[in-house]
Amino acid sequence: MDASFLSNDFEDVVAADRTNVWHHMTQHKPYESSDPRIIVEGRGMRVWDQKGKEHLDCVSGGVWTVNVGYGRESIADAVRDQLVKMNYFAGSAGSIPGARFSERLLAKMPGMSRLYYCNSGSEANEKAFKMVRQLSHQRHGGKKSKILYRERDYHGTTIGTLSAGGQDERNAHYGPFAPGFVRVPHCLEYRSQYGEVSDYGARSVAAIEEVILREGPDTIGAICLEPVTAGGGVITPPEGYWEGVQELCRKYEILLHIDEVVCGIGRTGTWFGYQHYGVKPDMVSMAKGVASGYAAIACLATTEELFDAFKDNPDDPLNYFRDISTFGGCTAGPAAAIENMRIIEDEGLLENCTAMGARLMGNLAELKERHKVVGDVRGKGLFCGAELVADRDTREPADERKVQAVVADCMARGVIIGATNRSVPGFNNTLCFSPALIAKPDDIDHLTDTVDQALGKIFG
Ligand code: PMP
């Protein structure tokens, strides 16, 4: 790496950042006296901070976003070419990259046939919620409007999506929330609510059915679920879970909305997480990996059947989706997304993700053998977690401060990992690993060797 950028003086940048920026998810009092970090450059899986220190980024930009890695000039070129030609036009007007990307993406999603553009994962989920509510008015006199969501899942930061938020620590103090969102139990087998059972998946599905029957099936319009729960603990679904959910949706005429904001576009080794489980969603929201952070873009994919429901009565002035997203008309997003997809296909990154994910899971299983603080390891593709416990028998969660100390120790050793902090009170004890899909065997081994050393240092 050419470290020429180090000749720059970053003191003024650090000062401006300290004085002016209100950072995401940050307690600013401790931050004021901490060592600030400005990420200055990135190449592949590596980033450099203002002091020139190199870090192996094993969280893809902090929150599972930069799937194809840093420094992709071809994406920057595609965005630049598009922006100088036509950067933006909103409303019903189309754009060349918007049309092209929709065609390419939907070809990877059999059963899905329409793509709605917006800017963030929260917004894509809000669009889905609005569609459910509007349909309930158009078809059911406003009745079939409730939306089921799951304990530990996260769907965004707006009041609407927090109303569907299964992570209590994130929701605290932001109420009152929107009515009509109903919680179903989580499906983390390691934290079984039903004791040790051989049919945890079926029990979890039965628990959802109980909620449906309690509320009344004719009041429920949709269920919104992450395919693999991300920030709530990297929760892979138990055996039979998705098949059961699909069956409930069919039985009670409930729309299935899958939140692929994290898993979408390759993170788990398939284009979408739900494709591991053979389910047929009605709506799929996506954001982070769509353009790997090279442009702000999110989308909601729907079936043709759902789309048709909004156009079947042209005499009714309210019978269309009366929604807009100002920056859904920015062409940088789909231009970046087309090139992002090309890279994934041409470089075989789905296959690499599957192979490297298997290696990562194997290494994590070895860590579990070596460190009794590792209670459970879970994952799909390059989306893995290790839950830390104070006691393997009782499964009492490890002290959150120690979990954070492991993250900090890895950082000091030049490896960036994540942890489920500020999500589920008492259970912010899962280390998270989500390297870019370009990871090589050496990167994976270096990651787990570093975690091995950090666990040894913090937990002995
Ligand atoms: N859904 C999931 C599963 C997420 O993890 C996130 C963000 N972490 C969101 C939705 C919200 O996305 P955004 O921050 O782009 O609004």
ipTM surpasses cut 0.90: yes
Q: Which atom of ligand 1 is nearest to the CA of 229?
A: 3
Query: b vs e for 196-212, b when ≥16 Cβ sit within 10 Å of the residue's Cβ?
Result: eeeebbbbbbeebbebb
Distance of CA 385 from the midpoint of ligand 1 (Å): 18
**How many residues in the chain?**
460
The maximal CA–CA distance of the chain, rounded, in angstroms, is 71
> Which of 433, 381, 376 has its CA nearest to residue 407?
433
Task: Assess whether the C-beta atom of 450 lies below 6 angstroms from ligand 1.
Answer: no
Distance of CA 156 from the midpoint of ligand 1 (Å): 5
The gap from C-alpha 99 to its chain's centroid, in whole angstroms, comes to: 25
Distance of CA 154 from the midpoint of ligand 1 (Å): 7
- Per the CB < 8 A criterion, the answer to whether 171 and 165 are in contact is yes
pTM score, whole prediction: 0.97
Which residue(s) pair with 146 in the sheet?
Answer: 220
Distance of CA 21 from the midpoint of ligand 1 (Å): 21
The 8-class DSSP code of residue 157 comes to S
Position 8 scores a pLDDT of 61
Task: Assess whether the C-beta atom of 157 lies below 6 angstroms from ligand 1.
Answer: yes
Position 400 scores a pLDDT of 94
Position 7 scores a pLDDT of 46
> Tokens 């669009």 identify what position?
127
Q: Which atom of ligand 1 is nearest to the CA of 119?
A: 15
> Two tokens at 188?
């983390």
Distance of CA 74 from the midpoint of ligand 1 (Å): 26
Task: Assess whether the C-beta atom of 124 lies below 6 angstroms from ligand 1.
Answer: no
Query: b vs e for 423-444, b when ≥16 Cβ sit within 10 Å of the residue's Cβ?
Result: bbeebbbbbbbbbbbbbeeebb
> Two tokens at 346?
């041409």
Q: How far apart are CA 300 and CA 283, in angstroms?
A: 7
Q: Which atom of ligand 1 is nearest to the CA of 260?
A: 3
Question: Domains of the chain, with CATH numbers?
Answer: 4-66+348-459 (3.90.1150.10), 74-346 (3.40.640.10)
122, 226, 327: residue to mutate for ligand 1 pocket, most atoms within 8 A of CB: 122
Cβ within 8 Å of residue 239, ≥6 positions away: 200, 201
Per-residue pLDDT of the chain (460 residues; tens, 9 = 90+): 454 555 467 888 988 898 999 999 999 998 888 888 899 999 999 999 999 999 999 999 999 999 999 999 999 999 999 999 999 999 889 999 999 999 999 999 999 999 999 999 999 999 999 999 999 999 999 999 999 999 999 999 999 999 999 999 999 999 999 999 999 999 999 999 999 999 999 999 999 999 999 999 999 999 999 999 999 999 999 999 999 999 999 999 999 999 999 999 999 999 999 999 999 999 999 999 999 999 999 999 999 999 999 987 778 888 899 999 999 999 999 999 999 999 999 999 999 999 999 999 999 999 999 999 999 999 999 999 999 999 999 999 999 999 999 999 999 999 999 999 777 888 899 999 999 999 999 999 999 999 999 999 999 8
Task: Assess whether the C-beta atom of 156 lies below 6 angstroms from ligand 1.
Answer: yes
Task: Assess whether the C-beta atom of 259 lies below 6 angstroms from ligand 1.
Answer: yes
Residue 317, preceding peptide bond in cis (omega within 30° of 0): no
> Tokens 């002035």 identify what position?
317
Q: β-pairing, 54-57 with 46-49?
A: antiparallel
Classified as helix, coil or strand, 332 is helix
